[in-house]
Structure 1
Amino acid sequence: MKNLFIQFRLTIILLVLFCGIYPLAVYAIAQFAPNHGKGETVSVDGKVVGYRRIGQRFNAFNYFWGRPSAVDYNAAGSAGSNKGPSNVEYLQQVQKRIDTFLIAHPYLKKSQVPSDMVTASGSGLDPDISAEAALVQVKRVAGARKLDESKVRQLVESKIYRPVIGTVTVNVLELNLALDELK
């Protein structure tokens, strides 16, 4: 009976700690983060159109496309596909993505398709693509919008993020919003 009382008391203490104090502490710390821990929203004319660090679906020909998502861009269920390069189903899916990309970009060869345009990221929510992936889409986007390719290329170049250490990337949402402002 003595051990049962100790276990009950420990359970109550841990419930209070992990279901009460810990969440409140995380919430309090989040209040010092940008947007009070609700993520970095992107607004146009006062309306939230997306989140800076969460990928979104863009599949219209007049927009730059982002990385494919294994979770259909659902931020509540972030995950990769957990399928490796030896998985037949995964290889078929990647091949289908390559074929779709080549149909939309007939001026490219299969070897010129950037890998990040046909493979999902580990989270399935990557908001960025490589600079190469953005640049190969310039011709399609410029043609769909009837814009000069050099103007669209300049826009892409201006949106490339070049960290001191790490991968050179382009945020697809920010690029597409800037594209909408381009005259």
Structure 2
Amino acid sequence: PVSTGLGEIFQYVVRPKPGYEQKFSQSELRTIQDWIIRKQLLSTEGVADVSSFGGQLKQYEVSVRTDKLRSLGVSISDVYNALQNNNQNTGGAYIEKGPTVLFIRTEGLAKTIEDIQQIVVKRANGIPVLIRDVAEVKFGAATRYGALAYNNDGEVAGAVVMMLKGENSNKVIRNIKE
């Protein structure tokens, strides 16, 4: 393993400054945590992983309209396969180079609701049938199994930073704070 049970060395929360609480949703706080803070911390010397908690995990939801499927001769499997084949997130592995660990991953092609709406499901008489023709695409939130609260001030997003096995915790915490 890259870390041990004693590797949890740093915890933090992501919350708006007082007076700005209404400007950030729980989904936005979690997105900031996962896509900005976490990515920066993973490149910090001595950090093995960053486990995110709290907030609402944003996801795209595709609500298929069965009447449109029937009228266009499209099956639910066609929609599923089109989405899967055109937006794959794949994990690879990691490369250890001295004290640094590089994670290998490819991110899906769809970055916006419009990207998903433009995915071709199939062609009917040479005319493309797009996701937008058979479904509604919108933002949603993944099923939650808990929440993270901070000092009785309400819900926040946050994380636990895991240290690489064999590293000096004081040094890694100093690196994190820089």
Query: Which bin holds the TM-score, normalised by the shorter protein?
Result: under 0.3
Q: Which has the larger Rg?
A: 1
Q: Could you tell me the TM-score, scaled by structure 2's length? A: 0.26
| Higher share in helix | 1
Higher relative contact order (CA 8 A, sep 6+): 2
